[in-house]
């Protein structure tokens, strides 16, 4: 939800699996994700929790059956 949260996650030394879809709350957060070597699949239109949820729902509706486990 914020650039500092993304930084904190990567400070833990954890990797994100390649098949993971990434949704960002806004351009600052997207930039931090990309600075850490990952692509943002979708950025929230409205920079709120509600906007982030809408973006997650939208992206999840675009996932095909082959991509699910």
Q: Is the pLDDT of residue 22 over 80?
A: yes
- The 10 Å Cβ neighbour count of residue 48 is 13
Q: Is the pLDDT of residue 69 over 50?
A: no
Radius of gyration (Cα) for the chain, nearest Å? 12
* pLDDT value of position 14: 86
Find tokens 């600075």 and name the residue. Answer: 35
Q: State the pLDDT confidence band at 68, using cuts at 50, 70 and 90.
A: low
Half-sphere exposure for 53 (CA within 13 Å, toward CB) = 3
Q: pTM of this prediction?
A: 0.80
SS3 24: strand
Q: How far apart are CA 25 and CA 69, in angstroms?
A: 26
> What pairs with residue 43 in β-bridges?
24
């Amino acid at each position: 939800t914020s650039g500092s949260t993304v930084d904190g996650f990567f400070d833990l030394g954890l990797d994100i699996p390649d098949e993971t879809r990434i949704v960002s709350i806004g351009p600052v957060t997207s930039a931090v994700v990309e600075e850490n070597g990952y692509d943002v699949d979708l950025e929230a239109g409205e920079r709120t929790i509600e906007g982030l949820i809408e973006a997650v729902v939208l992206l999840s509706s675009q996932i095909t059956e082959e991509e699910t486990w």
